[in-house]
Chains A and B, each alone.
Chain A
């Protein structure tokens, strides 16, 4: 008897929730998780604490290797999918290996977005999404006195306040587009400024970066449209995330900003599912797609995806958790609602 081979691309909360369900539903199936990150599943929201030495690297880990071994789930970490042939059920990995599947879940997450307007100096931005990013910054932190945070998505809030606590000069340049898929209303914006300022962050409002110069690889000068020159040792790009779907272009998948899936999280290929930050989920109620963010939403969608890959027919259900709270600031996940109300 042929067993299913479930392949999950991703190793975040969605991917792991799906793997758990698949193992519960199908004890004999092969389950493979593929991630381009080298690290075990870790708590991203603890990265600022790790950065400041308040959390150890091991405390970031959600699950040890033994968890996967005990459940016969094969982890392929540090392995990047670079191409897919979905009509042949094949994935192509960067190290030149083909991997087949019977059911595929794309739980790719997002990658830091740097707007095109900053293209010419994009290499001078640093990102803070992964453990590797955090490790790198941690190794340099001793020589960093001033920091400019550009964008200002929700992740950056905790990052900025954490660094400000250490006495460093933290300057934040808010950009409304950075909050996608959330809606930076005037109320939230004012709340952000108030909260950040109270915590020692210097918020630079109504201005934008027009260039970044560097005398060396350690020291930068950020130029703004209002004529400010901000010397710093770190320029963080926090313009939000975008679904990590570059390698799926020309795969035949329906993709908008993310991978389009039906209410069962199934793509336009029967054997392919998508969930989490990379997916835009169809909501029959509003007859449009929504995007979810946040850990609880991602976990819930992962479980739904797992159930459906194993033969279930669960619906992703209503809109995701409607509000997130970061640093005391509540933000509505209203992106779908805007479109839904049209």
Chain B
């Protein structure tokens, strides 16, 4: 009798599955999720993975790997999981609210001792849910003499239960443990195998999820990469020579990657004593004509604001990557939020224009990081690249940019040539961009200062001069706006029932919500700019004019982008601005919009 017959019901071929592996920090939830990602991606499935973990060290707090597996490209990690693997009962109980009402729970059926009432996750299995008890600890100990490989046993269960190709998992596990001793590799593969055997022999399948070992071979190359890894690669491909940073979640990974890779291309990574020093290093490097970057999070961006302002005033190229997290202050280091928009756009004394760019996908973290350097050099200005915890840490399978650094890795041609006389570092031009010189170049000497200055850089507090120079700095934004491609509206053409505006990492949820609304018969369009400062206001007004209901979605409390939009469109906006701490659920957008339309 085969497995499907034994369950006494028809299985269905699923091509979209959300798996959550939950444990205590150190239980291997994240490692297991990484292996799961690689295994299914090698079968041709698209993935989006987003882990959540505590800010504290091993042994404290909940650590959750969340992966969506789909035949089709994935825009969001999805809201509620189809399957929860409970490596730790206590933490998993709090995850049950994130499990679908007919979800599956894989739990340890043989812990070392009886648990007190209401502390076992299996005790919370509600009608409609499906629980599979597996002696995770026992099988792990049998394979590796340790309970630490419970995560790998659970992968054996997942592979068998949902009918994935086990060889893909074996390859992914082997790769993950390739640096370990042969005995370790054998043991971990045995843990996986025991999970498979137990499932096929002891579990009566009651769920209807079956991937039929289907594979969707891909054409061409793909890589599995996080937003931070993608942004770091963007820095490398843009040809930076200096990265200076102070560790902060969730930006630290960028420094870790560059610390390994930047020296290979003769660059330097400096871990500074604080964020002020880091941005100071970057400012100095930019001043001397060296591409450089720093990455930080909200608290660090606050500290950096003074130097960024100096960069604006002295017109010094520099790129600051802000991986946003929950705030204010130290806030929620390992939770996602899009609440640094206001400080990124305006956080400075005086009128301090600076381009702000927000990628919406892991692939864009790479391409827009390179674009940030291009813009920074072309317009001689600090540029802020806005990621967030979700985008920084989510993992996607992407096709590498074939053009790589070839497209962006060039310096602009606004370099002054000796002989220009008199040399004016801040000469007024229609674009606001003046001929730049490297400090110390004979005949092209100049003064750089944070004080208001004349065209040749000398301090000057005259009102007319201040107006001229302020206009010059803002003219650069106009020039950039004209040079940057217009954001193309997506979705339906013509008059719209709903127009959805979003930015950054929550754009995926917005697009998914649009698709759901369109399936329900509404005419829906979207406007998702990547260049947030300067904004393409004409294009925005044109889009807004087509929409009966205009919605702005973002993950912050006050509607920071909605404020920006409202000032342009001068009409009521449906603000979906919430602090979820986790990726914005597309269902939430749909529910709120439908409520508005009804």
Interface residues of A (CB under 8 A from B): 38-40, 65, 75-79, 92-100, 132, 135-140, 217
CA distance A137 to B9 in the complex (A): 10
Q: Which one of B107, B110, B117 contacts A98 once the chains associate, using CB atoms below 8 Å?
A: B117
Determine if A97 and B119 form an interchain contact, defined as CB atoms under 8 angstroms apart: yes
Determine if B8 and A77 form an interchain contact, defined as CB atoms under 8 angstroms apart: no
Determine if B127 and A97 form an interchain contact, defined as CB atoms under 8 angstroms apart: no
Q: Show 22 A/B contacts (Cβ-Cβ < 8 Å), sorted by A.
A: A65-B126, A65-B128, A79-B125, A92-B114, A93-B123, A95-B120, A95-B122, A96-B109, A96-B111, A96-B114, A96-B115, A97-B117, A98-B116, A99-B117, A100-B117, A132-B8, A136-B8, A137-B8, A139-B8, A139-B9, A139-B10, A217-B1
Q: Which residues of the other chain, A, contact B6 by a CB distance below 8 angstroms? A: 136
Q: How far is the CB of B130 from chain A (nearest CB, A)?
A: 8
Determine if A79 and B122 form an interchain contact, defined as CB atoms under 8 angstroms apart: yes
Determine if A79 and B8 form an interchain contact, defined as CB atoms under 8 angstroms apart: no
CB-CB contacts of B113-139 with A at 8 A, as 1s and 0s? 111111110110111101101000000
B5 within 8 A of A: yes
Determine if B109 and A94 form an interchain contact, defined as CB atoms under 8 angstroms apart: yes
Determine if B107 and A95 form an interchain contact, defined as CB atoms under 8 angstroms apart: yes
Q: Which 7 A-B pairs rank lowest in CB-CB distance, beginning with the nearest?
A: A135-B8, A136-B8, A95-B122, A97-B120, A139-B8, A65-B127, A97-B115
Q: How far is the CB of B423 from chain A (nearest CB, A)?
A: 78
B185 within 8 A of A: no
CA distance A140 to B126 in the complex (A): 28
Q: How far is the CB of A13 from chain B (nearest CB, A)?
A: 17
Q: Which one of A78, A136, A140, A217 contacts B125 once the chains associate, using CB atoms below 8 Å?
A: A78
Which B1-26 residues have a C-beta within 8 angstroms of A? 1, 5-10
Q: Which residues of the other chain, B, contact A38 by a CB distance below 8 angstroms? A: 127, 130, 206
Interface residues of B (CB under 8 A from A): 1, 5-10, 107, 109-111, 113-120, 122-123, 125-128, 130-131, 133, 206
Q: How far is the CB of A311 from chain B (nearest CB, A)?
A: 24
Q: Which residues of the other chain, B, contact A95 by a CB distance below 8 angstroms? A: 107, 109, 120, 122-123, 131, 133
Q: A75-B127, A78-B125 are in contact. Are A97 and B5 (CB under 8 A)?
A: no
Q: How far is the CB of A93 from chain B (nearest CB, A)?
A: 7
User: Main secondary structure on chain B at its contact with chain A?
Assistant: loop
Q: How far is the CB of B147 from chain A (nearest CB, A)?
A: 15
Q: Which residues of the other chain, A, contact B206 by a CB distance below 8 angstroms? A: 38
> A65 — nearest CB in chain B belongs to which residue?
B127
CA distance A98 to B131 in the complex (A): 18
Q: How far is the CB of A234 from chain B (nearest CB, A)?
A: 13
Q: A92-B114, A97-B117, A98-B116 are in contact. Are A40 and B127 (CB under 8 A)?
A: yes
Q: Which residues of the other chain, B, contact A97 by a CB distance below 8 angstroms? A: 114-120, 122-123
CA distance A38 to B249 in the complex (A): 43
Q: How far is the CB of A170 from chain B (nearest CB, A)?
A: 21
Q: Which residues of the other chain, A, contact B7 by a CB distance below 8 angstroms? A: 135, 139
Q: How far is the CB of A70 from chain B (nearest CB, A)?
A: 14
Determine if B1 and A76 form an interchain contact, defined as CB atoms under 8 angstroms apart: no
Q: Which residues of the other chain, B, contact A40 by a CB distance below 8 angstroms? A: 127
Q: Which residues of the other chain, B, contact A78 by a CB distance below 8 angstroms? A: 125, 131
CA distance A75 to B129 in the complex (A): 12
Determine if B120 and A96 form an interchain contact, defined as CB atoms under 8 angstroms apart: yes
Q: Which one of B9, B115, B123 contacts A135 once the chains associate, using CB atoms below 8 Å?
A: B9
Determine if B115 and A139 form an interchain contact, defined as CB atoms under 8 angstroms apart: no
> B115 — nearest CB in chain A belongs to which residue?
A97
Q: Which one of B5, B110, B113 contacts A140 once the chains associate, using CB atoms below 8 Å?
A: B5
Q: Which residues of the other chain, A, contact B116 by a CB distance below 8 angstroms? A: 97-98
Q: A79-B122, A140-B5 are in contact. Are A98 and B127 (CB under 8 A)?
A: no
Q: Which residues of the other chain, A, contact B123 by a CB distance below 8 angstroms? A: 76, 79, 93, 95, 97, 99
Q: How far is the CB of A313 from chain B (nearest CB, A)?
A: 30
Q: How far is the CB of B154 from chain A (nearest CB, A)?
A: 16
Q: Which residues of the other chain, B, contact A92 by a CB distance below 8 angstroms? A: 114
Q: How far is the CB of A230 from chain B (nearest CB, A)?
A: 21
> B124 — nearest CB in chain A belongs to which residue?
A76
Determine if A77 and B120 form an interchain contact, defined as CB atoms under 8 angstroms apart: no
Q: Which residues of the other chain, A, contact B110 by a CB distance below 8 angstroms? A: 96
Q: How far is the CB of A67 from chain B (nearest CB, A)?
A: 11
CA distance A75 to B128 in the complex (A): 11
CA distance A97 to B127 in the complex (A): 18
Q: Which of B7, B115, B117, B206 has the most CB of A within 10 A?
A: B117
Q: How far is the CB of A120 from chain B (nearest CB, A)?
A: 21
CA distance A137 to B10 in the complex (A): 13
CA distance A135 to B7 in the complex (A): 8
Determine if B5 and A77 form an interchain contact, defined as CB atoms under 8 angstroms apart: no
CA distance A164 to B109 in the complex (A): 42
Q: Which residues of the other chain, B, contact A99 by a CB distance below 8 angstroms? A: 117, 123
Q: Which residues of the other chain, B, contact A77 by a CB distance below 8 angstroms? A: 125-127
Q: Which residues of the other chain, B, contact A138 by a CB distance below 8 angstroms? A: 8
Q: How far is the CB of B257 from chain A (nearest CB, A)?
A: 42
Q: Which residues of the other chain, A, contact B109 by a CB distance below 8 angstroms? A: 94-96
- A97-B122, A138-B8 given. 10 additional CB < 8 A pairs? A77-B127, A78-B131, A79-B125, A92-B114, A93-B123, A96-B109, A96-B113, A98-B117, A135-B7, A136-B8
Q: Which one of B5, B119, B126, B131 contacts A75 once the chains associate, using CB atoms below 8 Å?
A: B126
CA distance A40 to B125 in the complex (A): 13
Q: Which one of A93, A94, A96, A139 contacts B5 once the chains associate, using CB atoms below 8 Å?
A: A139
Q: Which residues of the other chain, A, contact B118 by a CB distance below 8 angstroms? A: 97
Determine if B114 and A98 form an interchain contact, defined as CB atoms under 8 angstroms apart: yes
